[in-house]
Structure 1
Amino acid sequence: MKVPAFKTIAFALALSLSLNQTTPSVLANEPASGEIVKAIEADLADAERIVASEIDVKLDRGVVTLGGTVNSILDRDLASEIAKRTRGVQAVVNQILVQRSDRSDDSIHEDVQRVLITNSSVDEPQIVVAVNQGEVSMTGEVDSLAEKRIAGFVASGVRGVVSINNQLTVAMSSDRTDTDLRDEISALIHHSVYLDDVEVEIAVDEGVVKLTGNVHSALQKDHLERIAEIWGVAAVDVRNIRVDPTADGRAIRQKRYESVTDESIKEALQRAYRVDPILFSRADAIEINVSIGRVSLSGSVDRLRVKNRAEKLAGDVIGVRAVSNNIELQLPGKPPTDIEIVHETQDALARSAHLDRRDIRVHSQAAHVSLYGVVESELEKRVAQWVADGVTGVVHVNNSLAVEREWEQKSDEQIKTALERKLRFAFYEESDDLSVDVQGGVAIIKGTVDTWRQWQTVMDLAIEAGSRHPHNLVNVQYHPPHGASDIYVPH
């Protein structure tokens, strides 16, 4: 995507003014610039779909600038995420260009409007879409910053879109006071597994949220900003959030896990459902029961993606050990036929920028959709699942897609070196507590972490490093009090 020069200069200037005051103390004992760049380049090379040789990485006083070309906006965003998770990175300026396709603007326009209509959280008729050479502009009004973000996200997944100019405005019709907003955001942060070691100050003035404090990574800073984008918020200011990977948040995490009760989990979930842009209109239709950290969901919703979203949000709450999703699907009016479901699913898959070159066969029987075929990455398989989940009438997706890609054979030493690097730069905990051994291409990781989210992160990094079947023998400190083995692992 072409970034206007004046915007890039202004952003870099603002960053330099703030980093001049904060970076030296934060990075005093951190990796050197050359190490950070090499770590990002190596992780880009490990990423599916991204051709690392086509991405340029530069670092100046903690600010990473990415250049080069990719095939889609989602690939561009993935490169940003990899850079933002890296230890020592304060911020990321993404100047990567998305290659233009041969699709016409009219075709792109039609597909963008279609995905906005089918998305569960965007009121499409209030959004005006314009397309010029693959560059999509959206104007109009939505109900929240989160809805604005989601509209941009779903549009960016359309094949042929090279940039999004999101000019949507937020309707300030909320009757909640600044105090209500502050209390709501504070509780959401307190119960989030992604922010369980973070304490921030929250100030709200006429709907504008200002956050102050420390986080461990630029990616965690993004999480913090998104969680504050609830209904009634006009803007979120994170300029006073400092990235400090050396900050020790274990005492904060320990205190939060020790204070967890079944009642606090239920209240946190009810709150999360009320403010979520996908679930808020269905929150009253979902019944939540919690017993010793086990969440049971029941009730009825009108779309599989909504049901799955409810389960995902439950897994993101501190203290949740397992999730049983018994929510039923009930469609208003006459449900679509299996033939209609097949055609709509095929069309939705064809619109995806990630799946346009894949031959995916779709079957449907009693609204149970099966996906068959071959994709080149686990990411593509997950995208196909997400697309099918959003089709009206689908009650279940059996994802039988096979992942077939040329596996880069790595030696045991290469896998070990890669995993140790990832643990150092992307784990944000004392990775000295973990030991890595690799035998016959299988990574064996031992040690101790605090939470199951961290356990899952270790597993994900091992797979990224090239281990096909990691043996994760890492102990989790905050174990379920009932000693259950069927633990829910947040993703």
Structure 2
Amino acid sequence: MTDKDLRRAVLDELDFDPSLDAGDIGVAVSEGVVTLTGHVGSYAEKVEAERAVRRVRGVRAIAQEIAVRYADAKKVADDQIAARALAIIDWSVHLPKDAIQVTVSGGWITLTGAVPWRYQSRSAEAVVRQLSGVLGVTNRIAIEPRVPPGAVKDKILEAFRRSALFEADAIKVTVSGDRVILEGAVTARAERDAAERAAWSVPGVRAVEDRIVAMARADKMRCTAARIRDRSSIPETNARGTDPSGGRKDTKCSDRGACPVA
């Protein structure tokens, strides 16, 4: 997919999202890297714009430069934002009571505290960014481990095998304490995000280092074929019985994870 085609696909996805007013969002694309500029009417829209772009096949990275602009009538004082944020967190059935603290400065919310699960931390961030007057959210909520480190990898691999969104064998999982490293190659950014979400779903995971590369299906197939050739001690031959590569190996691919062909 060319950058021009990718830009068109991103614009179409932004226009398609009913929760977005994308009229003032600018899109530039260079080698699969999407830059978002312009402005939106709320922080929630800014976050949704980035989510929409991540859904588009071929997107390799996103530079988020969208500004949030509230009309004067919608501007809210910091103390009001803090009170509303605490209230909406207390009302949430997903969050333990009194586990999360809120501070607000210049419309920017900072969340602190500790919860057992990653989804609870994400849930707290999601509910407060919907509030009017919010310009941004910094999430510093800690995750309290509840699963022995040795069980983390097994639970992640089990979740990968259950998933219908990506091939489990395409991703390598390494666990060091409460830190998870994901490596490999997939054909869409959405598959990469699904793998990362699965890793975060295991209780006790505090950090996920995502080294997964999203590449075109044809490139992924070439990487896979090259790795198979590298593993084999028998040269690959064509119909004439000769090695079409002349004995050369694809040094761009390795078994250690992501293929840099993309």
* 2:53 matched residue in structure 1: 83
More RCO (CA 8 Å, sep 6+): 2
Q: 2:68 aligns with which of 54, 73, 98?
A: 98
Distance 1:208 1:202 in 2: 11
* 2:236 matched residue in structure 1: none
Runs of 4+ in 1 over 4 A off after TM superposition: none
Q: 2:205 aligns with which of 223, 233, 236?
A: 233
* 1:67 matched residue in structure 2: 37
Q: 2:12 aligns with which of 20, 27, 42?
A: 42
* 2:123 matched residue in structure 1: 150
Deviation track 1:130-153 (CA, whole Å, cap 9, x = no partner) reads 112321111222223332222111
Matches within 5 A, 1:127-276: 127-172=100-145, 174-178=146-150, 180-195=151-166, 199-229=170-200, 230-238=202-210, 240-246=211-217, 247=220
8 Å Cα contact 1:113/1:124 also seen in 2: no
Distance 2:168 2:158 in 1: 14
Distance 1:195 1:149 in 2: 23
User: 1:196 offset after TM fit, Å?
Assistant: 5.3
User: 1:68 offset after TM fit, Å?
Assistant: 1.4
- Partner SS for 2:5: helix
Distance 1:88 1:150 in 2: 28
* 2:3 matched residue in structure 1: 33
Matches within 5 A, 1:357-372: none
* 2:258 matched residue in structure 1: none
8 Å Cα contact 2:6/2:32 also seen in 1: no
User: 1:33 offset after TM fit, Å?
Assistant: 0.7
Distance 1:40 1:111 in 2: 34
Gaps of 5+ in 2: 222-262
Distance 2:9 2:167 in 1: 26
8 Å Cα contact 1:128/1:139 also seen in 2: yes
Distance 2:61 2:12 in 1: 19
Matches within 5 A, 1:236-385: 236-238=208-210, 240-246=211-217, 247=220
Aligned-pair Cα RMSD in Å: 2.0
Distance 2:18 2:117 in 1: 33
**TM-score with structure 2 setting the length:** 0.75
8 Å Cα contact 1:200/1:213 also seen in 2: yes
Instruction: Tell me the amino acid that sits aligned with residue 183 of structure 2.
Output: T
* 2:82 matched residue in structure 1: 109
User: 1:84 offset after TM fit, Å?
Assistant: 1.4
- Partner SS for 1:193: coil
8 Å Cα contact 1:70/1:99 also seen in 2: yes
User: 1:126 offset after TM fit, Å?
Assistant: 2.4
Distance 2:61 2:93 in 1: 31
8 Å Cα contact 1:84/1:219 also seen in 2: yes
**TM-score with structure 1 setting the length:** 0.41
Query: Measured at CA, do residues 133 and 198 of structure 1 come closer, stay the same or move farther in structure 2, by a change above 3 Å?
Result: farther
User: 1:102 offset after TM fit, Å?
Assistant: 1.8
User: 1:98 offset after TM fit, Å?
Assistant: 2.0
* 1:125 matched residue in structure 2: 98
Query: Measured at CA, do residues 121 and 51 of structure 1 come closer, stay the same or move farther in structure 2, by a change above 3 Å?
Result: closer
Gaps of 5+ in 1: 1-30, 249-491
Query: Measured at CA, do residues 220 and 76 of structure 1 come closer, stay the same or move farther in structure 2, by a change above 3 Å?
Result: farther
8 Å Cα contact 1:198/1:214 also seen in 2: no
Distance 1:70 1:91 in 2: 21
Distance 1:245 1:81 in 2: 20
Distance 2:21 2:178 in 1: 42
Distance 1:52 1:40 in 2: 11
Distance 1:197 1:33 in 2: 29
Distance 1:220 1:78 in 2: 18
Distance 2:173 2:30 in 1: 30
Distance 1:114 1:205 in 2: 37
* 2:251 matched residue in structure 1: none
User: 1:175 offset after TM fit, Å?
Assistant: 4.5
Query: Measured at CA, do residues 198 and 147 of structure 1 come closer, stay the same or move farther in structure 2, by a change above 3 Å?
Result: farther
8 Å Cα contact 1:135/1:163 also seen in 2: yes
Query: Measured at CA, do residues 102 and 175 of structure 1 come closer, stay the same or move farther in structure 2, by a change above 3 Å?
Result: closer
Deviation track 1:35-64 (CA, whole Å, cap 9, x = no partner) reads 111221233223324333311112222211
Matches within 5 A, 1:452-467: none
Distance 2:87 2:204 in 1: 27
